[in-house]
Amino acid sequence: MSKINDLFKTELKVANIGLRSFAEDLKNQKVKVVHVDWRPPAGGNKKMIALLSKLK
Amino acid sequence: MVQDLIKKANEETMKRILSAQPTLVGIGVAGDVIPGMTSKTILHAGPPITWENMSGPLKGAVIGGLIYEGLAENEVDAIALVESGEIQFDPCHHHNAVGPMAGVVTASMPVFIVENKTFGNYAFCTLNEGLGKVLRYGAYSEDVIKRLKWMETILAPVLKEAIGLAGPINLKSMIAQVIMMGDEGHNRNKAGTSLLIRELAAHIINTSFSNQEKIEVLNFMNSNDHFFLNLTMPACKSSLDPAMGIKYSTIVCAMSRNGTEFGIRVSGLGDRWFTAPAEIVDGLLFPGFTAEDANPDIGDSVITETTGIGGFAMAAAQAIVQFVGGNPQDAINYSKLMYEITEAENNTYKIPVLNFKGTATGINIMKVVETGILPIINTGIAHKEPGVGQVGAGLVRPPMKCFEDALEAFVDALTEEGLVE
């Protein structure tokens, strides 16, 4: 627990993957945040993911 | 194993595209020089389409083409002739040709002849008519036909003689220069047109034509910033054709639109088109027009993006970012994003503002489907009714379905061969 507590006592620097709104909320609270422009492969289309996996 | 096959095939595809040497070698008459052309053939932009499914601007250009050829006196005659079944429609792409917007080519039209000196193949394209009411946007009024006749009887013969005096013109080197001079080769062609005039002016003066005719030709070229587009396009077509038909290659070798559908062809999948309904262009419309007036995406000019210029080189063309509804940073972002879906950096077409990085070249269907990033296309907007002309310009993307269907067909082909389960 002590290590986690130490983490929250230091300045948070966040890399956000996923919903952009999470990053924006942190930014509004003056937390340093970098948003990673990430999306699931093939937009999450299972059929396309299966096709791509056959070629890799 | 299959990964190696794809890798090697894509390397060969890119080698062919990047080693192309498109060169302007002359001007001919479509019926004489384009393979498979007859007096009753009409070539058009995009994948195959029937008369019934053609959009307004393409129908208008077909009507104009038939009047220009003397096969019809007016619109009613032209439509009756088409409906009789006597006219054969075929994509420009099936005849080593490309055409901007409607892309209509008829037998008597003069065409640029571009040779890819590396592979000895040819590509053809009509001469650019200028802006406003022109055939390629579906206009077919008397002044449109008159201008086409002048192009056939004065413009083309003068330029043909001038090109003969100049000797072959290296288009690859010229396109590389125009990207350095603020053109992206699709929606901005001012630098290219200027360079071409500079290359040909003295030779035009030395032709056997009258001073009046020479002045008309130089004024016509000078009044039309897009004159060079009709050389960039066959340069790109001639660069991509030798890269078609490489087994196991996932590189796109043609993208095109007929105003109704968008189509792509993939090197490893032969001559097949993968199509989906064409999108509406997102851009700025000229005063007096609304989004309701816009026709869906049309033209073979997206051959430029397929070769790594046009929208892919948007960062080079800061002067027109507002014309297509963006800002300089957008242009840089578009060009950078295209590296995510392409196979190579171009070895000749380079962008100064990106520290002379080669443009993103060779669209890979696997990367498009995996990333969800679609090619960015910089294009003009035609009015949906025949006869009106250009109503704006902007950016558009192909439908994802074209790439998904192509990927599925590619995996099916490998499955049939027993290379994947």
Task: State ipTM.
Answer: 0.90
Whether residue B18 lies inside any domain: the answer is: no
Q: Does B248 lie in the same domain as B220?
A: no
pLDDT, tens digit, for every residue of B227-252? Answer: 999 999 999 999 999 999 999 999 99
- Nearest-CA distance A16 → chain B (Å): 19
pLDDT of B57 higher than 80: yes
Residues B59 and B107 in one domain: yes
A-B contacts (CB, under 8 Å): 36
Are residues B276 and B392 both part of a single domain? yes
Candidates B369, B370, B411; nearest CB to A54 = B411
Sequence-ordered alpha helix ranges (H) in B36-170: 56-68, 75-83, 142-150, 156-166
Q: Do A54 and B404 touch (CB under 8 A)?
A: no
Residues of A in contact with B3 (CB under 8 A): 55-56
Percent of chain A with pLDDT over 70: 98
Residues B69 and B217 in one domain: yes
Cβ proximity of B203 and B209 under 8 Å: no
- Helix or strand or coil: residue B419? coil
Going through B6-131 in order, the beta strands assigned E by DSSP cover 22-29, 41-44, 88-91, 110-116, 121-126
Nearest CB neighbour to B407, from listed A39, A43, A48: A48
DSSP β-bridge partners for residue B342: B363
Co-location of B259 and B344 in the same domain: yes
pLDDT tens digits along B298-319: 999 999 999 999 999 999 999 8
Do B253 and B220 share a structural domain? no
SS3 B237: helix
Q: What is the CATH number of the domain that holds B215?
A: 3.90.1710.10
The answer to whether A18 faces chain B, any CB pair under 8 Å, is no
Residue B388: pLDDT over 90: no
- Per the structure block, which two tokens stand in for B420? 């994947």
Report yes or no on B4 lying in a domain.
no
Q: Contact B407/A43, CB-based, under 8 Å?
A: no
Number of domains in chain A: 1
Distance CA(B31)–CA(B38), nearest Å, equals: 6
- Residue B7 in any domain: the answer is no
> Which pLDDT score is estimated for A47?
98
User: B125-142: per-residue pLDDT in tens?
Assistant: 999 999 888 999 999 999
Residue B387 above 80 pLDDT? no
Taking CA B179 as the corner, what is the angle to CA B309 and CA B91, rounded to the nearest 5 degrees?
A: 35
CATH classification of the domain holding A40: 3.40.50.720
Number of domains in chain B: 2
A2-6, B14-18, B30-34, B342-346: which range is least confident on average? Answer: A2-6
pLDDT of A2 strictly over 80: no
Domain boundary among B234, B264, B279: B234
- Checking if the pLDDT of A8 tops 80, the result is no
Q: Which domain holds residue A31?
A: 2-54
The pTM (predicted TM-score) of the whole model is 0.94
Closest partner CB to A51 (pick from B3, B371, B408): B408
- Specify whether B269 is located in the same domain as B358: yes
**pLDDT value, residue A49:** 97
**B119 in the same domain as B254:** no
- The percent of residues above 70 in pLDDT, for chain B, comes to 100
Indicate whether B6 belongs to any domain.
no
Q: For B188-211, give one letter per residue: b (16+ CB within 10 A) or e.
A: bbbbbbbbbbebbbebbeebebee
Q: Are strands B110-116 and B121-126 parallel, antiparallel or unpaired?
A: antiparallel
Q: Token pair for residue B43?
A: 């070539």
Q: CA B238, CA B310: separation in Å to the nearest integer?
A: 16
Cα B256 to chain centroid distance, Å, stands at: 8
Residue B227 lies in a domain: yes
pLDDT given at position B358:
98
b/e code A20-56 from CB counts within 10 Å (16+ = b): eeebeebeeeeeebebeeeeeebeebeebeebbeebe
Whether residue B10 is contained in a domain is answered as: no
Domain boundary among the residues B172, B207, B234 is at: B234
Do residue B221 and residue B134 come from a single domain?
yes
Q: What is the mean pLDDT of residues B324-347?
A: 93
Question: Could you tell me if B168 and B57 lie in one domain?
Answer: yes
Residue B386 confidence (pLDDT): 83
Residues B190 and B298 in one domain: no
User: Does B260 have pLDDT greater than 90?
Assistant: yes
pLDDT on residue B326: 81
Are A52 and B370 within 8 A, CB to CB? yes
pLDDT of residue B413: 97
pLDDT of residue B22: 98
Least confident range of A46-50, B351-355, B369-373, B390-394 = B390-394
Residue B323 in this model has a pLDDT that exceeds 80: no
**Residue B12 belongs to a domain:** no
Residue B376's domain comprises 244-416
How far CA B190 is from CA of B40, B226, B355, in Å, comes to 35, 7, 23
| Interval B384-392 mean pLDDT | 85
Indicate whether B47 and B136 sit together in one domain: yes
Tell me the per-residue pLDDT of B138-195, one tens digit each, with 9 for 90 and over. Answer: 999 999 999 999 999 999 999 999 999 999 999 999 999 999 999 999 999 999 999 9
pLDDT of residue B155: 98
Query: pLDDT category, B282, cuts 50, 70, 90?
Result: confident
A36 in contact with B, Cβ within 8 Å = no
The answer to the question of residue B406 being in a domain is yes
Under 8 Å between Cβ of B107 and B38: yes
Model confidence at A1, pLDDT cuts 50, 70, 90, reads low
Given B187, B214, B234, the domain boundary residue is: B234
